[in-house]
A and B are shown apart, each in its own frame.
Chain A
């Protein structure tokens, strides 16, 4: 257990509504990541953060935004959810230094109707 929680764990919403997913860590690690997992695609990086207020885009960032106002929280926002954003979302943290292993949260299953 790497001290990562995600909320909510499950969410069903309608097309066009805003959605925010939260990733919370207790380890005070610098690097945090948001991925989505879809069948046949592995995990694809949406956005990542390398410090408070320091974020950058991953390979599938369109339609998503992030914020990190404090070390422990990394928020992923879908401004206007679409059915193509139905997925399982995983947050990950990575300690600075060491063997740079990622530790994953339990995931959030999001369904957009």
Chain B
């Protein structure tokens, strides 16, 4: 079984300040972990992914995330928020493809607001 908990449903930051979106997970396997972003009335776009390579993962638009197995966490960070970062962010854990057809479990999402 697998699960994902996004610890904050809403995060508000000022433009130019750091962003931290928190995600904890549980999985019976060596998981793949992802962060997706969804802008209003849009589809989901992959920000970054962890698949058992480097624990610090760099993604698009200056985002990065660190896989910490001991803490079962995969928090998303960005050094300096931009107004265009305002969106909903989803943390996702996936089983391996040879297990349960690679089913994914989504967190409930974190809405990021960026204030001018």
A residues bordering B, Cβ < 8 Å?
A: 31, 33, 35, 40-45, 48-50, 56, 58, 90, 94, 96-97, 99-107
Q: B97–A40 contact, CB under 8 A?
A: no
With A41-B108, A43-B106, A45-B103: A31-B97 Cβ-Cβ less than 8 Å: yes
Q: Are A45 and B104 in contact (CB under 8 A)?
A: yes
Contact A106 B106 (CB under 8 A): no
Which one of B49, B92, B94, B97 has the highest number of Cβ atoms from chain A below 10 Å of its Cβ?
B97
- Per the bound structure, the CA–CA distance linking A97 and B51 in Å amounts to 12
Q: Are A107 and B103 in contact (CB under 8 A)?
A: no
**What would 7 A/B residue contacts be, using CB atoms closer than 8 Å?**
A31-B101, A40-B9, A40-B108, A40-B109, A41-B108, A49-B101, A90-B43
Inter-subunit contact A31/B43 (CB<8 Å):
no
Neighbouring A residues of B106 by C-beta, 8 Å: 35, 42-44
Q: Which residues of B contact A42 (CB under 8 A)?
A: 90, 106-109
Q: Give complex CA distance A10, B68 in Å.
A: 41
Bound-complex Cα distance A105 to B105 (A): 17
Instruction: Give the most central of A50, A56, A100: most B CB within 10 Å.
Output: A100
Contact B97 A94 (CB under 8 A): yes
Residue of A nearest to B6 (CB): A42
Beyond the given A45-B103, A94-B102, A100-B97, could you list 14 further A-B residue pairs with CB under 8 A, ordered by the A residue number? Answer: A35-B106, A40-B9, A42-B90, A42-B107, A43-B44, A45-B104, A48-B103, A58-B103, A94-B97, A97-B97, A100-B51, A101-B49, A102-B46, A104-B43
Report chain B residues within 8 Å CB of A33: 103-104
* Residues of chain B lying within 8 A (CB to CB) of residue A103: 46
A-B pairs with lowest CB-CB distance, top 7: A42-B106, A50-B101, A43-B106, A104-B44, A99-B51, A42-B108, A106-B43
Chain B residues with Cβ under 8 A from A48's Cβ? 101, 103
Q: How far is the CA of A58 from the CA of B102 in the complex (A)?
A: 12
CA distance A96 to B52 in the complex (A): 17
CB closest residue in chain B, given A95: B97
Cβ contact within 8 Å between A105 and B43: yes
Min C-beta distance of A43 to chain B, whole Å: 4
